[in-house]
Structure 1
Amino acid sequence: MTQEQLQASRCAGCGIPLHSEDPKKPGFVPASSLDKEEAICQRCFRIKHYSEASSVTVDQDEFLKLLGGIASTNSLVVHIVDLFDFQGSLISGLQRFVGNNPVLLVVNKIDLLPPVTNWNRLRNWVQKQASEEGLKVVDVVLCSARRNIGFDRVVEAVNSLRQNKDVYVVGATNVGKSTLINRLISDYSDLKRELTVSRYPGTTLDAVHIPLDDGKSIIDTPGIVYSWRMSEIIPRKDLAALLPDKPLKPLTYQLNEKQTLFFGGLARFDFVEGERQSFTAYLSSGLPVHRTKLERADELYEQHRGVMLSPPSLEDLESMPAWTRHRLRIPANSKQDIFISGIGWIQTNGKTGATVDVHAPRGIKVMLRESIL
């Protein structure tokens, strides 16, 4: 089968147009399977033969087209978010696409927080943050895909809320969506039946329906790619340094005004104005932190970016957006986090307030939020 013929054909499992160019994109089929009469994409193959869903990704526009059909269904929507990158992975506009369908918010990677975390307070924090982003949720479940913590509660919540409905699973990339779907498949699905397809008007992207024993389906949607997350713009070889795989060890710095912290070569934090106070960074242990005076920060960056101040490497810096400055004013007597999507957050601890600047690649989400801890 030629590439032209391949592009004109569709997956026998989910109906998506097939291609053999990029394994990360929906519809990929290995070249060795091109001549099969009823070829199925790699994602359907893994679901059908191994009871495993694999991650595929799409950009924001394609994803929003896919979401457009959910409001007209009678479904449970399971939205998975990354606790480490909460504001970066939350689909804030989800409510207008799902209509009156209930939304279960599953918060993954709780194993990164200290064991002494007040989990009830954290659930309340999650509900408040989601509400501020315009998302109404019927329940919040905390879990860890990596450590297999809390997944029984996720399955119980789905079972309780589903009430003979289809289940749409949505989320950004790298939030643990495939792990949850695989668990739901093992608990609910009879994979002897064929996969089915759901197509929505105006889009070439198809969601994969995984049949359940009661005739309903888990609908596996591709992971949405958000350009405001640091994990989407850095080279893949640097992800291990950026994404933590063990509990975060808080790094507390007593800073005078006019002092600076560099987080590798990915971001810079300037304490511009305020009384001496402490700032606590929660980030991956693979990302080195360097401290200097604000007056030397520009010179230090020019001399050491890509080498001492890394990741990324000097070569990779050329393909990344230039830094932009975010000025943030922290109110007195308030516990706030300075959130940098994909890097983590800096908890402020002072009672007198402060003015800070955060320098990060253009487009990366930087914001103040109520402290998570």
Structure 2
Amino acid sequence: MEKFSQFRDRGSGIAPFLPIPSEPIGLQAPLRFSLFCFRLPLFIFVTVSYFLVLQWLPIGSLGKKAALWCILGVPSIWWIDLQIDGVRKGSLSKQQQARLPQPGSVIASSFTSPIDTVYLAAIFDPVFTASYPDCRQVERISLLQAIFRAFASPSTRPAPGTRMVDMAELVEKYPNRPIVMFPECTTTNSRGILPLSHALLGVPARTKIFPVSLRYTPVDVVTPLPGSYISFLWTLLSKPTHCIRVRIAGAIVSGRDTAAIDLPPARSTRKSNYNTNYLDTMDHDSAMNGDDGITAAEKALLDHVGDSLARLGRVKRVGLGVKDKQDFVRKWTKTRSTW
């Protein structure tokens, strides 16, 4: 993979866009092939039934969540390891519900796999949005569109004719549901956190932002490459079980027109630590300083959310963004087509 070395972060050496190689099948070939053949028609049936029929029926939020859990249950995505900042294991029921995303709040989620969207829909019944790197508005999308965006080519700006809305408008329009954002704007292989979209800066004042990290074991169900439908289905349906590790950080609150609230100092004032290093800081600060209209408080907000996602996922922030992934995909496609 030396030919893709320019798509590694300069400071950490992380390559966030390379696909994760699957484990050799070996002696498990008969079992995995049998599981795939058994699960595929069942998975197609429950998925098509939900998106064509059930989601349009008046079955309520609980009914839709149950149907989504059936979709997750077919490939045996059962073991959910949930941890919340400030809450000890086994004591969540004794804690205040404010530690979890609530209606009217914003979920800033990592984005590595289409499973992310299904899980978030099954737990929170949120409104999904699509973000773009330098745009403070978002695109309102459906759950199905959010799933397909995990397989879509990266884009730095919305397509012509796309209706963009302010986050304040969505929060006001859907007071009984949380809003999900994927601020990295494209999928990764879960080994790094990309620079975050300016759409986070459009979150209205006094609105809680909950960074949420989702990671998988085995990790090869991620889809960093666009169009990887077949390989994803094979990996998802042929393995006996999958585990989701969910980490939820404490709420971050900031004001759009006022100074940020409860935010740490700007990234450039901090020493290198587990989540950052000197070159990462230089790359990130250089990129941010070149953006017009970014105040120190807004920059601190982006840093706080990015650092939280990196800490939750036990990874580092990288300087590579959506434009770098576009270049990577072009080179990957060209190279692979000659093999």
Normalised TM-score (structure 1): 0.21
Whose strand proportion is higher, 1 or 2? 1
Tell me which structure has the larger Cα radius of gyration.
Answer: 1
Normalised TM-score (structure 2): 0.23
